[in-house]
C-alpha cells in the first residue's frame, strides 16, 4: 500500500489557480488553508497575482523551487493536463484535483481523465479526484478544500464519493457538534480510491472510526484484501447507495461507474467485516456509538427506565435488532430490591417508577452494569414532576467512566426540559436519543463488529484441497474454446467437476444404442439417458430424457426413442449422442452454484435445490476470494436447508463435510479458471455419507475484460 | 357505541380532591382547567377548602346542585369508591379517575377496580381509567389532566395506554411545535378503552389523524368491528408494544393484561386497515404526513435534487419501502430539458445540479408535479454556494398549495444554514427532514392507507357457503365432550370436516381385519391404514401406519402387523381400531390451519405444507371474523406456495377456488364452534380440479373463559 502520510500531513501545499477574487474557488481554498491553522508552507500559484492572503504568489509550480507535498489544482479543465505535467516535473507528491470536467461529463472528459492519470503515473504522483471538494485533516491541521469552515476536531474519518454529500454532512455535523479527524472527497477516483483512504485512515492514530459513503468500489479484489485488514484495526462503516434496481441506474448515470450487483457488495462487506449502514441516520448513529463507546463483550442489554411503556418499546427493539435482554444475577436483584420501592420492577427492564429521582437511577444503573450478564446498558428517562434529568445525566456520565468496558446509551424522551441533561450526556460521551430504538440499532452494529473481532481472534483456516487436476480441465476447455461454445456439454462439465474432485454422478457419452447399454452395465442400473446437444436447453420438453431404465434392452430402446423424438421435434439440431448416467437414490435436494461478479469475482451460492430454488430463494452467498473453512460452514448453517440436512424429524444428518468440500472445490475451480462465468450443481443430493451432484452446468465467457 | 361528546366537550367539570396546595395533583388539575381557557362551569370539591383559583369549592359532589358532565377524581384510592358512588348518585356522566392503586398494584387493587366499575355500571356512568394522567381537548378547549401545560391546537388525536408515554410525547411535541386535537390517557381501561376513544376521535370534526400507543387490546371482537369502521373515515396509526417475547413479558408485568400473540395483532391491524408504526419516530412521522398531506392516488415518487448522491440514496429508499420511481411523460422531459443546463439529469431523480438557485427547483418541481405519473414529490436540497434554502422553501410551499392532491416532502440535508428554510416548509405543511429516508417511509404508510381506501371503495363480499350440517358436528362432539378428550380421533375429525363440506380423503374406522378389507374395497386402492388411539401422537414411530396396500389380503396383513407392533411397543395403550383411507395421488402439499387467539378469535393459516411447514414457514394469516372472499384470495396469493399452485414450470394450475372454499369453511366451522382451539389440515393436496386434505387434526378445549 502506498503511504498517504504526506497527503494528510503535508509540509507544503501549493494551490494552482489560487485567486484574490473572493467569488473564486481558488480564493476559498487559500482562505481555508490559512484559517485551518496549517503550519507548513503555502504556495499560491497564479501568473496574474503577486500575493494572496499574505502568501507570495508564483507564476508557475516550477518557479517555487522548493519541495511541494500537495498541489491543489483549481484551474479550468482544459489547462489541467499542462498544470499536472508541470507538477510532475517539479516533483510534487500528491495532486488534489478540484477541477471538474472529466469522466462525469462523458467521452471527452473520460479521455482527459485517462491522460491525467497517465501523467500521474509517469511522474509517480498520486492523485485525489478529479472533481473533488478536497481533503481536510483536523489534527494536522489542514483544510485543502473549498468547503466553507472547518470541522470540529474528533476521531471520525469521513470518506465520500459524492462531494455534495460531503458538504451536506460537513454542514450538518457542525450544527450537531460532531467531531471529525478527516474529510475526504474522492470524486471520480481515477487514481486513489476508497481502498487507499480506508487503509490510510486505519493507520492514522487520530482516527478511531472510518465512515464511508460510496456508490461503487473501484477494484473489488483490492477492496477485499485491504479492507478486511483495515477492519481488524478499526470499525469501518459504509453507506453504499445504488442498492435498488432504480438506484443502480441513478448511480451509473451519476458517476459512470459500472456498479456490481448489490448482493455481491453485501457479501463482500460482510466477509471483510465492514458494518453496512442502511440509512444516513444509521451511518452517523453508528459512528457516534463506535467513537464514544467501548466494544461490547456480548449482546445482552440491561434497561433502566422510569416508566413502563418506553421500557416495553425498548424491549421490543432489543429483540428486533437481534439482541438479548440481560438476565440479572441474584445479587443484582437483591441490590435492586433493597434500593427500590416495593412496586418497582426489579427484572429487566428495571422500572424505577415515575417518582424516581437520581438516587434510584444511580443505584440501579450501577447494579446492572456491575452484573456480569450485562454487556450494555440503556437508560430511559421520561419527564415527570420529580425527575432530575441533569443530575441523572451526571450520574450516568460518572458510571460511564467507571464501567469502561460496557457501552451505555440513553434516551431522554421529551422536549426542552430535557435538553440540558441530554447535552451533559453527549458531552461526556454517552449517546443520547429522543426515542429508544436508534440506540439499540446502534448497539446492534457494535455487537456485529465485536463478533467479527472474536472470529478474527479465533483465527481462520483455509480449506484443505488435494487431488486437483488442472491439466484435465485445460484439456476439456481446449475443445470448448476452440468451438467458441458458451455452455459445456454434460459430459464435459462432469469431467471438469471430476478433475477438481467435485462429486458428480458420472455421465458418459454414447453414440450408439449398444455403447449406451455397455456404459449402463458399467455405471449400474437403473439408468438415465439424456440427449447431448449444445442447442437443447429443456431436454424433457422434447422427449430427450428417459429415466428408471432397468435393463440393457430398455436402455437401447430408450436410445432410439430419444433420437426419434428429438429428430422429429427439432429436426436439423446437432446431436452429439446420448449421455448415460446411473439414477441416484432420493435425498435432500440442494444447490451449489457460482456466478462471477464483475467487481468481486466468483460469488458462491448454497441452498435448497430442485424446484424450490426459484420459489423459495433459500440461498446464502459468499465470495470465493480468501474464503475460509469457517465461512463455508457458516454459509451452510445460515440457510433454512441446514435444518433439513442436519437431521429433520429423526432422519439421519447429511454429510456436511462433503458439502463443505464441494463448496471449497467449486471456489477453487472458479478462481483458477476466470473464464468460467457460472457453475450450477443442481440438484446436489445430500446423503448421510456423501453428497453427489446429479447435474452440472458450466458456462464460460470470452470477454477478456471480464476474465 | 356510546357517545363521548360530553366527555371531550363538557359543559361542566368537577374536580374531586381539588386543592390549593401547589404540590398536589388536585391543584395542578384545577390550574390546567383554568389555563386551558375552558368556557364551562368548574366545580372544585374539597371539604377543607372554600375557594380554589377563584372557583367556589364544594364539600361534596352532591352539594353542587347542578348537572356535572365530567368529574375528575384525584383522592386517595381508599376514598375513591365512596366518591364514585356519590358521583353516580348526583348524576355525573363521566368519571376521569386519576387516582392510582387499582389493578396495577395486584389483587387488592383489582378488587377495588372491579367494585369501581360496578358502581359506574349501576349509575350508568362511563369512566376513563383508573390510573390516568387525564384528558385534553384543544378545540373545546379543556385540560382535565395533571400534565403541565397545554398542547398546541392541531388535528392529531393521541390516545395512550401509558401515562408516562403520554407525558413524554406531550413534552416532546411542544418542543417541536406539533399540534394536537386531543390527548387521552387510558390507564387501566376498566371501562372505556381504545375502541371507544378511537371511535370518538373518528367522529370528532377536529381530528384528522388518530394515533395510539397500546400494550394490548381490551376486547378483540369489538376492536375488529369498530376500528375497521373508524379506518374508513380517518387514518388510525398504532404503535403496539410487546411485539417481542421478552417485550410481551414486560407488558404483562406492567399492565397485568393478557396480551394476545403479536401475530394476531398484526393480522387484526392489517384486516381493520390500521397503519402499524414500527418505532416511535415512525408513529410521529406518519402522523405529520397524514395531517399535512393529501392521500396519494398511487405509489410513484418524483425526486428533485441538487446533488447526485442524496438522489441515489432516496431512490434506494423508494424501492426499499415498496414504492416506485415515477416515469415522466415526454412533455415533462421536454419542459425540464428547456429549463435546465445540459448536464442536468432530466429523468427521475431530476438533478438540477449543485449550482441550482430557486428557479431550477421551481420549474422542475412544477413540471414533475404536473406529470400524471407522479403521485408524490420529494425535494432534496444540500447546501452549496448559491443554494437558496428559504426562497426554495417558499416556492415548494406555493406548489404545495397548487397541487392539492399530491403529497410533497422535503429533506434539507445540512445544518444551521438550512434551519430557516426547513421552518418555512414545516409551517406551510410540507414535512421537512434532515435525511431522505424517513420521508419515504412515511409516504409508504400513506400508500398503504390509500390502497385500503380503494379496497373498501370496491366493496367486499362474504364467501358463500352452503350445505353445512351443524347437527352432525354436534353429534360428533357429544362423544368427545363426554369423554373430556382434547384431540378428536381421525375419523371424528374427518366427519366434522365432512359435515362442513371441507374436502377430506375419507377415513373409516375398522375394528377387525375383515372390516378393514371391506372398507378398503369400498374406498378404493391403494389403501392406507393408521392406528386409531387417543394416546399415540407419532403413529409412524410405533409401526402404526401402512401405506400403498394394493389388495384385500395386504390390508388384512397390514391390520395384524400394526396391531402387533403397537401392542409390543406401547403395551396397554387403548386402541380404538384401525383407520382405513384411500391413498391419494401426489400433488402440491399445502397446509390450512386455525388456531384460536385469546383476543381476536380464530386465526387462519395457509401455506406450504408437508415437512416444509416448520422449515420454511411460508404461511399467511387472517382472522376468521368478518373474513371476506377478497381477503381469502389475498391470503393465498401472498404466499410463496402461490407461485407453485398457480402453475409452475408448465405444470397445470391447482384449483384455487377449492382452496378458497376450504378456507372459508374452516373459518365458518371455527366461528360456529368456539370449543375448537386448533384445526390442522396437513397436507392438503391441491389438484387441478380439486383440493383434498389427507389428514385432519382437531383440538378442543374446556376452558369456558376461552370459548
Q: CB distance A434–B172 less than 8 Å?
A: yes
Instruction: Count the domains in chain A.
Output: 4
Q: Is A648 on the interface with B (CB under 8 A)?
A: yes
Q: Within 13 A of B473's CA, how many CA atoms are on the CB side?
A: 22
Q: Which of A171, A325, A383 has the CB atom closest to B415's CB atom? A: A171
Query: Do A549 and A613 fall into the same domain?
Result: no
Instruction: Report residue B335's pLDDT band, with 50, 70 and 90 as the boundaries.
Output: very high
Q: Nearest 5°: phi and psi at A154?
A: -165, -165
Percent of residues, chain A, with pLDDT higher than 70: 95
**What is the C-alpha separation between B38 and B141, in angstroms, rounded?**
5
Domain of residue A517, CATH code: 3.30.1490.20
The shortest C-alpha distance from B343 to chain A (Å) reads 7
For an interface test with A, the pick among B107, B170, B313 (most A C-beta atoms closer than 10 Å) comes out as B313
**pLDDT tens readout for residues A152-184:** 999 999 999 999 889 888 888 888 888 999 999
Q: Which of A239, A279, A312 has the CB atom closest to B241's CB atom? A: A312
Does the pLDDT value for residue B33 go beyond 60?
A: yes
More confident residue, B612 or B587: B587
**pLDDT tens readout for residues B441-468:** 999 999 999 998 888 778 778 889 989 9
Whether residue B464 is contained in a domain is answered as no
Residue B1: what pLDDT? 60
Where does a domain end: B255, B289, B323? B289
Task: Identify the closest residue of chain A to B645 by CA–CA distance.
Answer: A615
Instruction: Report residue A649's pLDDT band, with 50, 70 and 90 as the boundaries.
Output: low
Residue A553: what pLDDT? 93
Residue A652: what pLDDT? 84
Domain of residue B679, CATH code: 3.30.470.20
For an interface test with B, the pick among A32, A108, A168, A189 (most B C-beta atoms closer than 10 Å) comes out as A168
Q: CB distance A319–B611 less than 8 Å?
A: no
Instruction: Report residue B652's pLDDT band, with 50, 70 and 90 as the boundaries.
Output: confident
Least confident of B111-120, B285-294, B533-542: B533-542
For A79, left (φ over 0), alpha (ψ -120 to 50), or beta?
alpha
Residue B78: what pLDDT? 93
Does the pLDDT value for residue B551 go beyond 70?
A: yes
Instruction: Report residue A693's pLDDT band, with 50, 70 and 90 as the boundaries.
Output: very high
Q: Domain range holding B194?
A: 5-289
Whether residue B465 is contained in a domain is answered as no
Bridge pairing between strands A179-185 and A236-240 = unpaired
**pLDDT tens readout for residues A109-141:** 999 999 999 999 999 999 999 999 999 999 999
Where does a domain end: B582, B604, B626? B582
Q: CB distance A650–B541 less than 8 Å?
A: yes
Q: Within 13 A of A206's CA, how many CA atoms are on the CB side?
A: 18
Q: Is B434 on the interface with A (CB under 8 A)?
A: yes
Instruction: Report residue B649's pLDDT band, with 50, 70 and 90 as the boundaries.
Output: low
Query: Do B171 and B314 fall into the same domain?
Result: no
The shortest C-alpha distance from B50 to chain A (Å) reads 27
Binding-face residues of A in 449-508 toward B, CB within 8 A = none
**What is the C-alpha separation between A94 and A92, in angstroms, rounded?**
6
Assess contact for B217 and B191: CB atoms under 8 A.
Answer: no
Query: Do B312 and B440 fall into the same domain?
Result: yes
Q: Where are any strands of DSSP class E within B516-597?
A: 527-532, 545-549, 577-582, 588-597
Binding-face residues of B in 283-322 toward A, CB within 8 A = 306-313, 315-320
Instruction: Report residue A612's pLDDT band, with 50, 70 and 90 as the boundaries.
Output: low
Instruction: Report which of A7, A9, A12, A47 is spatially closest to residue A26, judged by C-alpha positions.
Output: A47
Q: How many helices (H) and strands (E) does chain A have?
A: 24, 30
Q: Which residues of B touch A241 (CB under 8 A)?
A: 309, 312-313, 315-316
**pLDDT tens readout for residues A536-569:** 877 877 888 888 899 999 999 999 999 999 989 8
Instruction: Report residue B86's pLDDT band, with 50, 70 and 90 as the boundaries.
Output: very high
- Residues near A194 by beta carbon (within 8 Å), at least 6 away in sequence: A159, A161, A186, A212, A214, A217, A218, A223
Q: Is B177 on the interface with A (CB under 8 A)?
A: no
Q: Which residues of A touch B343 (CB under 8 A)?
A: 105
Query: Do A23 and A163 fall into the same domain?
Result: yes
Instruction: Give mean pLDDT, residues A437-457.
Output: 91
Query: Do B198 and B282 fall into the same domain?
Result: yes
Whether residue B616 is contained in a domain is answered as yes
Whether residue B200 is contained in a domain is answered as yes
**pLDDT tens readout for residues B559-589:** 999 999 999 988 888 888 999 998 888 888 8
**Mean per-residue pLDDT of chain A:** 91
Residue B393: what pLDDT? 97
Instruction: Report residue B423's pLDDT band, with 50, 70 and 90 as the boundaries.
Output: very high
Q: Crossing angle, helix B389-402 and helix B419-427, to 10 degrees? A: 20
For an interface test with A, the pick among B21, B308, B353 (most A C-beta atoms closer than 10 Å) comes out as B308
Bridge pairing between strands B588-597 and B601-608 = antiparallel
Residue A707: what pLDDT? 37
**pLDDT tens readout for residues B188-246:** 999 999 999 999 999 999 999 999 999 999 899 999 999 999 999 999 999 998 876 65
Query: Do A595 and A535 fall into the same domain?
Result: no
Percent of residues, chain A, with pLDDT higher than 90: 72
Instruction: Give mean pLDDT, residues B526-551.
Output: 86
Query: Do A324 and A203 fall into the same domain?
Result: no
Question: Which class for A706: exposed (0-12), middle (13-18), buried (19 or more C-beta within 10 A)?
Answer: exposed
**What is the C-alpha separation between A94 and A104, in angstroms, rounded?**
22
Contacts for B48-53: CB closer than 8 Å, 24+ residues apart: B49/B18, B49/B19, B49/B20, B52/B18, B52/B19, B52/B20, B52/B27
Q: CB distance B319–A243 less than 8 Å?
A: yes
**pLDDT tens readout for residues A483-520:** 888 889 888 999 999 999 999 988 889 999 999 999 99
CA angle (B673 as vertex; B486, B671 as ends), nearest 5: 130
The shortest C-alpha distance from B65 to chain A (Å) reads 35
Sign of CA dihedral B523, B526, B532, B535: negative
Query: Do A555 and A600 fall into the same domain?
Result: no
Instruction: Report residue A705's pLDDT band, with 50, 70 and 90 as the boundaries.
Output: very low
Query: Do B571 and B595 fall into the same domain?
Result: no
**What is the C-alpha separation between A576 and A586, in angstroms, rounded?**
29
**What is the C-alpha separation between A18 and A25, in angstroms, rounded?**
8
The shortest C-alpha distance from A79 to chain B (Å) reads 21
Domain of residue B181, CATH code: 3.40.50.261
Least confident of A52-56, A429-433, B519-523, B571-575: B571-575
Instruction: Give mean pLDDT, residues B609-635.
Output: 84
Whether residue A475 is contained in a domain is answered as no
ipTM at complex level: 0.85
Least confident of A384-398, A437-451, B585-599, B692-706: B692-706
Binding-face residues of A in 524-543 toward B, CB within 8 A = 541
**pLDDT tens readout for residues A401-410:** 999 999 999 9
Assess contact for A295 and A450: CB atoms under 8 A.
Answer: yes
Residue A338: how many other CB atoms lie within 10 Å: 9
Query: Do A426 and A529 fall into the same domain?
Result: no
Question: Cell numbers at residue A62, please?
Answer: 516550477
Q: Which of A163, A315, A347 has the CB atom closest to B247's CB atom? A: A315
Q: CB distance A414–B175 less than 8 Å?
A: yes
**Mean per-residue pLDDT of chain B:** 91
Task: Identify the closest residue of chain B to A249 by CA–CA distance.
Answer: B312
Interface A-B, measured as beta-carbon pairs within 8 A, has a size of: 240
> How many residues comprise chain B?
707
**pLDDT tens readout for residues B103-139:** 988 899 999 999 999 999 999 999 998 999 999 999 9
Whether residue B463 is contained in a domain is answered as no
Instruction: Give mean pLDDT, residues B313-331.
Output: 95
Q: Which of A243, A320, A649 has the CB atom closest to B244's CB atom? A: A320
Residue A250: what pLDDT? 52
Query: Do A228 and A93 fall into the same domain?
Result: yes
**pLDDT tens readout for residues A375-392:** 999 999 998 878 999 999
Instruction: Give mean pLDDT, residues B253-280.
Output: 75
Whether residue B662 is contained in a domain is answered as yes
Q: Is A171 on the interface with B (CB under 8 A)?
A: yes
For an interface test with B, the pick among A174, A250, A384, A587 (most B C-beta atoms closer than 10 Å) comes out as A250
More confident residue, A258 or A1: A1
Residue A244: what pLDDT? 66
Where does a domain end: B558, B582, B606? B582
Q: Which residues of A touch B311 (CB under 8 A)?
A: 250, 254
Binding-face residues of B in 219-258 toward A, CB within 8 A = 239, 241-247, 250-251, 253-255
Q: Which residues of B touch A416 (CB under 8 A)?
A: 171, 174-175
Query: Do A529 and A637 fall into the same domain?
Result: no
Residue A148: how many other CB atoms lie within 10 Å: 16
Q: Which residues of A touch B415 (CB under 8 A)?
A: 171-176
Whether residue A488 is contained in a domain is answered as no
Q: Which of B215, B246, B254 has the CB atom closest to A325's CB atom? A: B246
Does the pLDDT value for residue B632 go beyond 80?
A: yes
The shortest C-alpha distance from A557 to chain B (Å) reads 27
Q: CB distance A246–B310 less than 8 Å?
A: no
Q: CB distance A243–B307 less than 8 Å?
A: no
Does the pLDDT value for residue A61 go beyond 90?
A: yes
Question: Cell numbers at residue A660, please?
Answer: 463443505
Residue B611: what pLDDT? 64
Amino acid at each position: 500500500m502506498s503511504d498517504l502520510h504526506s497527503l494528510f500531513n503535508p509540509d507544503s501545499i501549493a494551490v494552482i489557480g489560487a485567486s484574490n477574487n473572493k467569488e473564486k474557488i481558488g480564493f476559498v481554498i487559500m482562505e481555508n488553508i490559512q484559517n485551518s491553522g496549517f503550519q507548513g508552507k503555502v504556495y499560491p500559484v497564479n501568473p496574474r497575482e503577486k500575493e494572496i492572503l499574505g502568501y507570495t504568489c508564483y507564476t508557475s509550480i516550477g518557479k517555487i523551487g522548493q519541495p511541494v507535498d500537495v498541489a491543489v489544482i483549481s484551474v479550468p479543465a482544459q489547462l489541467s493536463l499542462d498544470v499536472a505535467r508541470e507538477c510532475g516535473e517539479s516533483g510534487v507528491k500528491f495532486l488534489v484535483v478540484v477541477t471538474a470536467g472529466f469522466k462525469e461529463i462523458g467521452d471527452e472528459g473520460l479521455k482527459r481523465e485517462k491522460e491525467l492519470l497517465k501523467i500521474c503515473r509517469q511522474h509517480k504522483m498520486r492523485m485525489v479526484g478529479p472533481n473533488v471538494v478536497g481533503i481536510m485533516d483536523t489534527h494536522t491541521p489542514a483544510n485543502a478544500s473549498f468547503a466553507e469552515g472547518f470541522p470540529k476536531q474528533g476521531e471520525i474519518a469521513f470518506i465520500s464519493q459524492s462531494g455534495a454529500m460531503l458538504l451536506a454532512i460537513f454542514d450538518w455535523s457542525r450544527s450537531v457538534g460532531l467531531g471529525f479527524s478527516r474529510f475526504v472527497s474522492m470524486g471520480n477516483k481515477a487514481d486513489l480510491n476508497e481502498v487507499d483512504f480506508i487503509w490510510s485512515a486505519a493507520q492514522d492514530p487520530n482516527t478511531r472510526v472510518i465512515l464511508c459513503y460510496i456508490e461503487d468500489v473501484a477494484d473489488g479484489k483490492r477492496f477485499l484484501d485491504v479492507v478486511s485488514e483495515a477492519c481488524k484495526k478499526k470499525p469501518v462503516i459504509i453507506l453504499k447507495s445504488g442498492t435498488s434496481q432504480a438506484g443502480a441506474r441513478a448511480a451509473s448515470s451519476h458517476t459512470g461507474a459500472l456498479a456490481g450487483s448489490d448482493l455481491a457488495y453485501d457479501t463482500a462487506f460482510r466477509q471483510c467485516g465492514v458494518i453496512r449502514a442502511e440509512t444516513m441516520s444509521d451511518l452517523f448513529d453508528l459512528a457516534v456509538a463506535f467513537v464514544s463507546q467501548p466494544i461490547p463483550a456480548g449482546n445482552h442489554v440491561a434497561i433502566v427506565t422510569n416508566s413502563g411503556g418506553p421500557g416495553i418499546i425498548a424491549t421490543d427493539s432489543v429483540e428486533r435488532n437481534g439482541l438479548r435482554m440481560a438476565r440479572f444475577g441474584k445479587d443484582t436483584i437483591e441490590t435492586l430490591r433493597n434500593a427500590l420501592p416495593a412496586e418497582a420492577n426489579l427484572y429487566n427492564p428495571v422500572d424505577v417508577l415515575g417518582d424516581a429521582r437520581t438516587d434510584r437511577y444511580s443505584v440501579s444503573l450501577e447494579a446492572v452494569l456491575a452484573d456480569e450478564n450485562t454487556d450494555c446498558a440503556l437508560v430511559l428517562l421520561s419527564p415527570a414532576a420529580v425527575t432530575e434529568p441533569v443530575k441523572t445525566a451526571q450520574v450516568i456520565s460518572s458510571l460511564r467512566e467507571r464501567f469502561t468496558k460496557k457501552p451505555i446509551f440513553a434516551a431522554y424522551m421529551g422536549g426542552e426540559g430535557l435538553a440540558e441533561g441530554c447535552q451533559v450526556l453527549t458531552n461526556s460521551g454517552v449517546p443520547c436519543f429522543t426515542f429508544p430504538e436508534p440506540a439499540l440499532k446502534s448497539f446492534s452494529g457494535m455487537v456485529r463488529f465485536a463478533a467479527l473481532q472474536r472470529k478474527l481472534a479465533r483465527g481462520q483456516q483455509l480449506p484443505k484441497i488435494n487431488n486437483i487436476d488442472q491439466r484435465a480441465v485445460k484439456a476439456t476447455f481446449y475443445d470448448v474454446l476452440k468451438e467458441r461454445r458458451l455452455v459445456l456439454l454434460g459430459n464435459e462439465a462432469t469431467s471438469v467437476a471430476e478433475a477438481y474432485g467435485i462429486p458428480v454422478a458420472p455421465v458418459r457419452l454414447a453414440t450408439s444404442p449398444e455403447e449406451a447399454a455397455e456404459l449402463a452395465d458399467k455405471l449400474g442400473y437403473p439408468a438415465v439417458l439424456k440427449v447431448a446437444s449444445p442447442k437443447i436447453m429443456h431436454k424433457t420438453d422434447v422427449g430427450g430424457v428417459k429415466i428408471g431404465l432397468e435393463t440393457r434392452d430398455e436402455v437401447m430402446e430408450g436410445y432410439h426413442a430419444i433420437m426419434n423424438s428429438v429428430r422429429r421435434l427439432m429436426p436439423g439440431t446437432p446431436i452429439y449422442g446420448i449421455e448415460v448416467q446411473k439414477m441416484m437414490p432420493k435425498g435432500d435436494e440442494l444447490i451449489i452454484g457460482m456466478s462471477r461478479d464483475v467487481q468481486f469475482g466468483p460469488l458462491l451460492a448454497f441452498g435448497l435445490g430442485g424446484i424450490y430454488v426459484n420459489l423459495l430463494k433459500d440461498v446464502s452467498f459468499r465470495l470465493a476470494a480468501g474464503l475460509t473453512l469457517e465461512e463455508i460452514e457458516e454459509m451452510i448453517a445460515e440457510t433454512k436447508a441446514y435444518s433439513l440436512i442436519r437431521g429433520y424429524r429423526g432422519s439421519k444428518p447429511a454429510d456436511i463435510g462433503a458439502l463443505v468440500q464441494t463448496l471449497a472445490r467449486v471456489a477453487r475451480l472458479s478462481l483458477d479458471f476466470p473464464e468460467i462465468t457460472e457453475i450450477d450443481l443442481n440438484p446436489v443430493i445430500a446423503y448421510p455419507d456423501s453428497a453427489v451432484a446429479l447435474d452440472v452446468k458450466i458456462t464460460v465467457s470470452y470477454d477478456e475484460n471480464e476474465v
